Chain A
Amino acid sequence: DVQMTQSPSYLAASPGESVSISCKASKSINTYLAWYQEKPGKTNKLLIYSGSTLQSGTPSRFSGSGSGTDFTLTIRSLEPEDFAVYYCQQHNEYPWTFGGGTKLELK
């Protein structure tokens, strides 16, 4: 199975700042990486798929980059609603696997 490793596990930031979350795969997954946002009381939200393609409705301050084994989710100019947990998921090969998550907290 492809192991997905996210870092950092926790990240503290303030509104208006920009942050980046890393996701590393144990083998090449081409560009087949998705990012999700988890917030209490809401269903998980798909943000980005295929590495850099924004899902409909995802604000443009979110961007994804990377290929092969190294990927990054960047959020520019944080809004209050962005404080959440973020997960990456490879969709290159069975079984689809997820990272352990990054909790973005308010500083």
Chain B
Amino acid sequence: QVQLKESGPGLVQPSETLSLTCTVSGFSLTSYSVSWVRQPSGKGPEWMGRMWYDGDTAYNSALKSRLSISRDTSKNQVFLKMNSLQTDDTGTYYCTRDWNNYFDYWGQGVMVTVSS
């Protein structure tokens, strides 16, 4: 069945770079797009960016200058890197299967805290 699982550090220092990995199973990254979505505690989700099935990327303009999404199809993995982290980047980060611009499967999410 379709599964997505995020992994990465739970604590990041301010001004440092966040690196997360999404490992997928049950579908091919060359057939489906994957998006990253984050959610600060107590707030609604925010779409961050997308890795298209064809390898292209799209980013939320609010994050574009800090964000990079890449993939390794041989490992069924999608990567997120975001630099210059601040405390308001604290929240839960999800990878999702992106189908027609909505998200039909979600990972469990990984909690990221930005703190010194």
Residue-by-residue, is A25-52 near B (CB-CB < 8 Å gives 1, otherwise 0)?
0000000101010000001111001000
Alpha-carbon distance between A49 and B60 when the two chains are bound, in angstroms: 21
Candidate in B44, B58, B94 with the most chain A CB atoms within 10 angstroms: B44
Q: CA–CA, A36 to B39, complex, Å?
A: 14
**A55 at interface by CB-CB < 8 Å:** yes
Q: How far is the CB of B47 from chain A (nearest CB, A)?
A: 4
Instruction: For A63, list chain B residues within 8 Å (CB).
Output: none
Q: A89, B102: Cβ atoms under 8 Å?
A: yes
CB of A49, distance to nearest CB on chain B (Å): 5
Select one of B58, B104, B107 contacting A46, CB under 8 A.
Answer: B104
Pair B47/A96 contact, Cβ less than 8 Å: yes
Q: Mark A1-36, 1 if CB is under 8 A from B, else 0.
A: 100101000000000000000000000000010101
CA distance A60 to B29 in the complex (A): 31
Do residues A98 and B106 form an inter-chain contact, with CB atoms below 8 A? no
Contact of A71 with B by CB under 8 A:
no
Partner of A95, one of B62, B104, B106: B62
CB atoms of A97 and B106 under 8 A apart: no
1/0 contact string of B79-116 vs chain A (CB within 8 Å): 00000000000000010100011111111100000000
Q: Which A residues are in CB contact (< 8 Å) with B35?
A: 96
Extra A-B contacts (19), CB below 8 Å, given A43-B106, A97-B46: A1-B62, A34-B102, A43-B108, A44-B103, A44-B106, A46-B104, A49-B100, A49-B102, A55-B104, A87-B45, A91-B101, A91-B102, A95-B61, A95-B62, A96-B102, A97-B47, A98-B44, A100-B44, A101-B43
